[in-house]
């Protein structure tokens, strides 16, 4: 009985250590054409946001952007996909996907950024994808994107995972994923960024301890039987 209770407590503690905190995250898209001031267009507190326009943040660019964040997926994960970015004119478009109001994890932790571009057609010169953390919970309109975590530039279809240490964070803070697409004419590209916290060794150890405890209970029961 004592072993069963101990295993249950350990497993419960493991779940609490990995569970997201209560929060009210907000997703917002911003856009900037040829280095201009970012313009906000599209806001959601439901955890998902999609924006589509033939004049997205500037004339001559067809863009569809979708993002999924908390509370649909555990914070601070943010998964953004830019779909059908199709310039009809030369220039550089920067798209920002921003999640504000993140409350955990806190302190400094590892954040993995997964970058990819799955289409590279026509006169697309390059796509630069970057991730940022802003301890002040700001936006590109107020404080800029924040502290750069990871960045990669693609000139062809590719994918790359990069891991970086966040600043020493207190709640709330914001996370920003940035796509900078440069074109010399008509083209098309499909890109995505997924950023997620790497579980702390302590949390993994706690979870492992709980699972080991349950295994010991099962072994003890089989032995008595």
The answer to whether the beta carbons of residues 151 and 131 sit under 8 Å apart is: yes
The answer to whether the beta carbons of residues 91 and 63 sit under 8 Å apart is: no
Mean pLDDT of the chain: 83
Give me the pLDDT at residue 197, please: 95
Residue of higher predicted confidence among 22 and 183: 183
How many Cβ atoms are within 10 Å of 128's Cβ, its own excluded? Answer: 17
Residue of higher predicted confidence among 201 and 78: 78
Element (H or E) spanning 31, and its range? strand 26-33
Calculate the alpha carbon distances from 53 to 13, 19, 31, 61, 62 in Å.
Answer: 46, 36, 12, 8, 6
Alpha-carbon span 110 to 157, nearest angstrom: 26
The answer to whether the beta carbons of residues 137 and 174 sit under 8 Å apart is: yes
Question: For residue 15, is pLDDT > 60?
Answer: no
The pTM for the full model equals: 0.80
Alpha-carbon span 49 to 140, nearest angstrom: 18
Tell me what the mean pLDDT of segment 194-210 comes to: 64
> Sign (positive/negative) of CA torsion 202, 135, 33, 184?
negative
Task: Express each pLDDT in 59-68 by its tens digit.
Answer: 888 999 999 9
Element (H or E) spanning 7, and its range? helix 2-18
Tell me what the mean pLDDT of segment 80-105 comes to: 92
Give me the pLDDT at residue 136, please: 96
pLDDT band, very low/low/confident/very high, at 7 (cuts 50, 70, 90):
very low
Q: Residue 169: CB partners within 8 Å, gap ≥ 6? A: 105, 106, 107, 108, 109, 133, 135
Q: Which CATH architecture has domain 21-200?
A: Sandwich (2.60)
Q: Where are the domains of the chain?
A: 21-200
Give the range among 21-25, 85-89, 128-132, 147-151 with minimum mean pLDDT.
21-25
CB burial class (10 A; 0-12, 13-18, 19+) of residue 223?
exposed
Task: Express each pLDDT in 21-65 by its tens digit.
Answer: 444 699 999 999 999 999 998 899 999 999 998 877 778 889 999
Give me the pLDDT at residue 16, please: 38
Give me the pLDDT at residue 82, please: 85
Residue in 98, 96, 106, 64 with CA at minimum distance from that of residue 78: 98
Alpha-carbon span 187 to 63, nearest angstrom: 12
Sequence length of the chain is 225
pLDDT band, very low/low/confident/very high, at 199 (cuts 50, 70, 90):
confident
Tell me what the mean pLDDT of segment 174-188 comes to: 95
């Amino acid at each position: 009985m004592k072993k069963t209770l101990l295993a249950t407590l350990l497993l419960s503690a493991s779940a609490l250590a990995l569970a997201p905190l209560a929060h009210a995250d907000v997703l917002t898209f911003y856009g900037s054409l040829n280095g201009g001031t970012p313009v906000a267009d599209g806001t959601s507190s439901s955890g998902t946001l999609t924006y589509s326009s033939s004049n997205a943040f500037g004339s001559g660019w067809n863009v569809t952007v979708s993002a999924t964040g908390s509370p649909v997926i555990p914070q601070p994960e943010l998964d953004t996909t830019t779909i059908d970015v199709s310039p009809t004119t030369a220039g550089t478009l920067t798209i920002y996907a921003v999640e504000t109001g993140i409350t955990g994890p806190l302190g400094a932790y590892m954040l993995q950024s997964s970058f990819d571009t799955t289409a590279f057609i026509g006169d697309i010169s390059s796509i630069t994808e970057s991730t940022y953390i802003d301890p002040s919970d700001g936006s590109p309109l107020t404080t800029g994107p924040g502290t750069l975590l990871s960045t990669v530039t693609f000139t062809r279809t590719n994918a790359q995972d990069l891991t970086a240490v966040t600043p020493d964070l207190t709640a709330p803070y914001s996370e920003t994923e940035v796509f900078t697409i440069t074109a010399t004419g008509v083209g098309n590209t499909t890109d995505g960024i997924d950023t997620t916290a790497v579980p702390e060794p302590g949390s993994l150890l706690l979870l492992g301890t709980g699972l080991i405890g349950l295994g010991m209970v099962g072994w003890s029961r089989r032995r008595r039987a």
